Amino acid sequence: MSEAILAPGRKLGVIGAGVMGSALLKGMLDHDLLTREQAWAASKTETSCHEVAAALGVRASRDYEESVADAGILLVAVKPNQAARVAEKLNASGLRADTLVISVLAGVSTEKLQGLLTTGNPVIRAMPNTPCLVGHGVTVYCGGVHALPEHLAVAEKIFHSVGKALEVEEHYFNAITALSGSGPAYMYLVMEALADAGVRVGLPRDLAMELVAQTMLGSARMVQETGRHPASLRDDVTTPAGCTIGGLLMLEDGKIRSVLARAVEEATKIVEQLGRGKS
């Protein structure tokens, strides 16, 4: 056990072990944050329970009421419209006041979550993204009013097990949801378009896609590992009168900067509207 996150005798339950819940649980198990015996999972259907039990080797069931009282940490990863139903069940199942409740529900504020729980639990809200599935996600998190530094430290360990983890102020959540929560979809669109471009100039599709994916990965690593501004790194690739400057000018003619900015602006507005409906 490298970095235990649970007090002795307590367990971690994932309520909603779908795409995100399972990815987070897998990260924790792979990084020895807990043992399989210390974890349980809950989903809505028997089929999902069987799948997660087979994939991760943890106990999984539809009925988790009897496990709530022993839980030291509850990770809630159901769809946002299930928040009230889950909270009602927790309130009726002996939820202890010191159980840390971590939610990844988009648009559900810490204030809303705390209001749904009757025991005044420490609550953490987080926004991961799907590259968590391959250990390269980025997750932001923030604590509610009852969350102490030790609770934030636990969240950091959990989300660090599936990529980068950054503590942020809650008022950034809508913008972050639109930028890094939705971000993988933007990147996939760019990758698809560039692979098509490769096909247009005569490359086999598989080769084009492999080149594009590794170029995107390598460029991101260059920004992260050198700490240099992307414009400066771009200058290194751009030889006078060369092909790269020609390609870049075509991208600028197509208004790539403002198109990307407007996309994130639009997504942020939609998240805000969704949040008003839910929280």
Ligand X SMILES: NC(=O)c1ccc[n+]([C@@H]2O[C@H](COP(=O)([O-])OP(=O)(O)OC[C@H]3O[C@@H](n4cnc5c(N)ncnc54)[C@H](OP(=O)(O)O)[C@@H]3O)[C@@H](O)[C@H]2O)c1
- With beta carbons less than 8 A apart as the criterion, state whether 77 and 24 touch: yes
Residues 6+ apart with CB under 8 A from 218: none
- With beta carbons less than 8 A apart as the criterion, state whether 44 and 72 touch: no
Closest to ligand X by CB, 82 or 119 = 82
Closest to ligand X by CB, 95 or 105 = 105
Residue with tokens 């009757």: 118
Closest to ligand X by CB, 5 or 20 = 20
Dihedral class, residue 6 (left if φ above 0, else alpha if ψ from -120 to 50, else beta): beta
Q: Residue 81 Cβ, how far from ligand X at the closest point, in Å?
A: 9
Q: Residue 39 Cβ, how far from ligand X at the closest point, in Å?
A: 15
Q: How many CB atoms lie within 10 A of CB 231?
A: 7
Chain residues binding ligand X by CB under 6 A are 15-21, 42-45, 48, 77-80, 82, 85-86, 104-106, 127-130, 181
Q: Residue 131 Cβ, how far from ligand X at the closest point, in Å?
A: 9
Q: Residue 219 Cβ, how far from ligand X at the closest point, in Å?
A: 22
Residues 6+ apart with CB under 8 A from 259: none
Task: Write the DSSP assignment of 83-104 as a string of letters.
Answer: HHHHHHHHHTTT--TT-EEEE-
Strand extents, DSSP E, 159-245 = 163-167
Closest to ligand X by CB, 208 or 271 = 271
Q: Residue 210 Cβ, how far from ligand X at the closest point, in Å?
A: 24
Closest to ligand X by CB, 72 or 80 = 80
Q: Residue 178 Cβ, how far from ligand X at the closest point, in Å?
A: 12
Closest residue to ligand X, judged by C-beta, is 18
- CA 175 vs. chain centroid, Å, equals 14
3-state DSSP assignment of residue 203: coil
* β-pairing verdict for 123-127 and 137-143: antiparallel
Closest to ligand X by CB, 185 or 237 = 185
